[in-house]
Structure 1
Amino acid sequence: MSIYHLYGSSYTYSAQDEEDDDYHVDRQQEGHTHIHTREVQARRTGRRIFNVIFFGRSITATVTSKPREIKRWIDSSLYYGRYQYRNRTLVVGLGVQWLPPYRGSVEPAETLQLCFGTRCLIIHLSHTPYVPRILRRFLGDEKITFAGIWNHMDEKKLLMSEHQLYVTNLVNLKVLGFSGVAKDPVVGRSNWNARNLRHDQVQYACVDAHVSAEIGKKLEAWNYKC
């Protein structure tokens, strides 16, 4: 059982470690009225689109391993956030998932999730043939603040990935005094290398990045970047 706290609100979330890649949970049907996830576009054209309802807010989550989809998401995000970008107040939520260690192994990043506003991108790094240059420029842009919670390992995991990604301004919200977020350990330790992520994994990654972005904005994380 885990609890997320966001501006004084909370929800409880219980996840099962299902083996079926097509596992689907609608949280409203289970009585968890604060959050539920459904797939709105199936596995085609190199991406999967999900709708995640989080405390009444509708978030669009794109899951992909295709460079063109990564570029499309970044281009549109920079357009929608152009005013914040000019003012150096653009905050992007960032999270990273990896496989649980096996016999002391050190695992690289399997997924990178980014969120701006109500738009989330989950990049399946382990299945991406290459990353577009715009992703490297985006992560390295000094005008953008990337915010995460308990993310002290994220930068290292991204550098360890085959794409060797580096984030210039990565802020750990825990350092800023916010620690009221607990993540479901069952989902967190699940198979993030699976070609088709389960719905609960998509929900976990999406909410993680979205909450990070929202808290980062509230705490004005751009004032604390490296």
Structure 2
Amino acid sequence: MNNPSKYKIGLTSAVALGFAGITYVVLRKILKPKVPSEAPNLDIKIITCEEDSQDVVYELRRRSAQYHAIGFDCEWVTDQGKRHSVALLQLSTYDGYCALFRLCHLKSIPNCLKDLLEDGSIYKVGVAPSDDAKYLANDYSVYLKSTLDIRHLVELCKYDTGGLATLSKALLDITLDKSWRIRCSDWEAHKLTERQIKYAALDAHIAVKIFVKLINDYHKNPLFTLWRRNNNDHWEKISQFCSKYSDIPYKTKQKFKKNYKEYKAKESKGTKEVLSKRYPHATRSKPLYHNCFLKAPDGELLCTCDNKKAIWYVERELADVVCEDPLTVQLRFEPAGRSVGDVGRYYQLTKENKCVVCGAEDSYIRKNVVPREYRKYFPEVMKDHSSHDVVLLCAECHQRSNVRDQLVRESLAARCGAPLAPRAPPRLTDDADCKKVRSAARALLYQTKKHTLPETRRKELEGILLQHYLQHDEITNELLEEAAKIQVVFENEDYESHGYKVVEYYQQHEGLLRLEEEWREHFLASMQPRFMPELWSVKHNEERLRVRLNEGRLSEEDLKLIAM
């Protein structure tokens, strides 16, 4: 007969031994010293002449086809606080093919490289790549598209953010050489040292390595085989994941997130206010589209409109209400034109009150697809029916769109000779002498009354006034009153508006219709909106004006202004 007590003792011993074994394995794994990863072996190409660029750029494109991303970085020399033009441009693919373009020797960026940098289908990944992109735009008139700060993805994947060296150590266990001696070395030297070459290549390569790791970490689902070569739609998945972060500086996003949280907190209390002084766009508390109907005297539908416009016609006895839900009014007079073709049907369609990019319906802001700084200088014939270029965006999409618009502004500034601030002369200038005189007069007027002005200071201020008003021998109250109101701000005769110069350039060269189309094309390409109104068209104004031309409602002067 078996002894139960012995059986219990044996079972307890087995469990204890099993637990001890598991504990040993776990502790051994935890306490085992971690061996840092070695820096990867790289295939580094140094380009110092334009002839070598073609093959290298082709290879970069070929090798980046799988991931649609290349590591990107720039180096330059700073002398006594002044930055020289970008001296070195680094690009790297995930498999370790690195190209170092020595721009200080090339003097200009080859067209093949320019095309690669301005290709929106390839992400240029790094830490603060938008800053380097601005330098390339300023120095070489190259306008990068699809820059992507990997810190957006680091944050999304719930890792601690930091600089490239910190991220490299934390995510790849690779230690980068970030000595100030190499970072601030002479990147314009006749020949780069081995240490400089390795430093520059690794900065670009580590960025794209981190990018791929983060994408894979975010999609840990084994069914989501993002990087398989036979996965035909992997680019669409990457694009959907990354597009909302492209060309958005990481710092800008952080500021916006803080302001947006403040706004949401106020909104939850029942008040809708401007987000902040740094983001001065108020969300709408009322819908933009009321979708009321406006009809011709014979009952033909002309367009949809808002309540205010419909009621305006009725109150002036220019129209009658024929239906209250939805509000429909019928004109008592024949309108100047009827709806013709798709361009006319666009205005007859009802429109949704939601973000045209992401579809959010809780809050939205009016977005001028063609910015007002240009449209306000258009001839009147092109300003009619501008509602076509007003769409709704949620606050986050609106902020992203504005950041990406700046790239187009910078490109137009270079092409049209229309510098943006702060390079352009200011519209208003202060006269330092007049400000000094006004300040002295106000001090004498107000401080003397309070008996707080020392005698020596009073005489000094009176001397400033008498030096300006040479025809006066003494200070009187009338003189003080006049000097206290003296003009100190004047129009700058050298000022020329950026928007005005761009419009003037297009009037003389490509025509204003083309300027409109470029902005519309940019909005579609940069934001990829999924909920645009039906029949919204890049060539909308051209089609509308052709209808007016066929109806004899365009003058020769109008045709000349729009270069149609």
User: Which residue of structure 2 aligns with residue 189 of structure 1?
Assistant: 184
**1:110 to 2:108 alignment:** no
**1:145 to 2:123 alignment:** yes
Q: Which amino acid aligns with 2:148?
A: V
The answer to whether the 8 Å contact 1:92/1:115 transfers is yes
Note closer, same or farther for the CA distance 1:157–1:180 as it changes in structure 2 (3 Å cut). closer
- Pairing 1:1-226 to 2, within 5 Å after superposition: 34=38, 54=39, 57-82=40-65, 84=66, 89-102=67-80, 104-116=81-93, 117-161=95-139, 163-176=140-153, 177=155, 178-179=161-162, 181-182=164-165, 183-220=178-215, 222=239, 223=242, 224-226=245-247
Deviation at 1:165, TM superposition (A): 2.3
- SS in structure 2 at match of 1:62: strand
CA–CA distance in structure 2, aligned partners of residues 164 and 63 of structure 1? 22
Note closer, same or farther for the CA distance 1:75–1:164 as it changes in structure 2 (3 Å cut). same
**1:6-50: CA deviation from partner (whole Å, max 9, x where unpaired):** xx9857xxxxxxxxxxxxxxxxxxxxxx3xxxxxxxxxxxxxxxx
Deviation at 1:217, TM superposition (A): 1.8
Q: Which amino acid aligns with 1:114?
A: L
Q: Which amino acid aligns with 1:59?
A: L
CA–CA distance in structure 1, aligned partners of residues 118 and 36 of structure 2? 33
Deviation at 1:152, TM superposition (A): 4.7
Deviation at 1:142, TM superposition (A): 1.1
The answer to whether the 8 Å contact 2:76/2:83 transfers is no
Note closer, same or farther for the CA distance 1:91–1:110 as it changes in structure 2 (3 Å cut). same
Deviation at 1:214, TM superposition (A): 0.7
Deviation at 1:211, TM superposition (A): 0.2
TM-score, normalisation: structure 1 = 0.67
Alignment size in residue pairs: 169
The answer to whether the 8 Å contact 1:115/1:121 transfers is yes
The answer to whether the 8 Å contact 1:92/1:213 transfers is yes
CA–CA distance in structure 2, aligned partners of residues 205 and 175 of structure 1? 23
CA–CA distance in structure 1, aligned partners of residues 164 and 35 of structure 2? 11
Larger Cα-atom Rg:
2
CA–CA distance in structure 2, aligned partners of residues 70 and 9 of structure 1? 38
CA–CA distance in structure 1, aligned partners of residues 146 and 35 of structure 2? 28
CA–CA distance in structure 2, aligned partners of residues 181 and 79 of structure 1? 26
CA–CA distance in structure 1, aligned partners of residues 146 and 118 of structure 2? 7
The answer to whether the 8 Å contact 2:48/2:102 transfers is yes
Note closer, same or farther for the CA distance 1:145–1:192 as it changes in structure 2 (3 Å cut). same
CA–CA distance in structure 1, aligned partners of residues 132 and 106 of structure 2? 18
The answer to whether the 8 Å contact 2:60/2:92 transfers is no
User: Which residue of structure 2 aligns with residue 39 of structure 1?
Assistant: none
Deviation at 1:65, TM superposition (A): 1.5
The answer to whether the 8 Å contact 1:149/1:179 transfers is no
Q: Unpaired runs of 5+ in structure 1?
A: 1-7, 12-33, 35-53
Higher helix share: 2
CA–CA distance in structure 1, aligned partners of residues 54 and 101 of structure 2? 11
Note closer, same or farther for the CA distance 1:101–1:72 as it changes in structure 2 (3 Å cut). same
Higher strand share: 1
Name segments (4+ residues, structure 1) moved above 6 Å: none
Q: Which amino acid aligns with 2:84?
A: E
Q: Which amino acid aligns with 1:205?
A: A
Provide the aligned C-alpha RMSD in A. Answer: 2.2
Q: Which amino acid aligns with 1:139?
A: L
- SS in structure 1 at match of 2:188: coil
Q: Unpaired runs of 5+ in structure 2?
A: 1-33, 156-160, 166-177, 216-237, 248-564
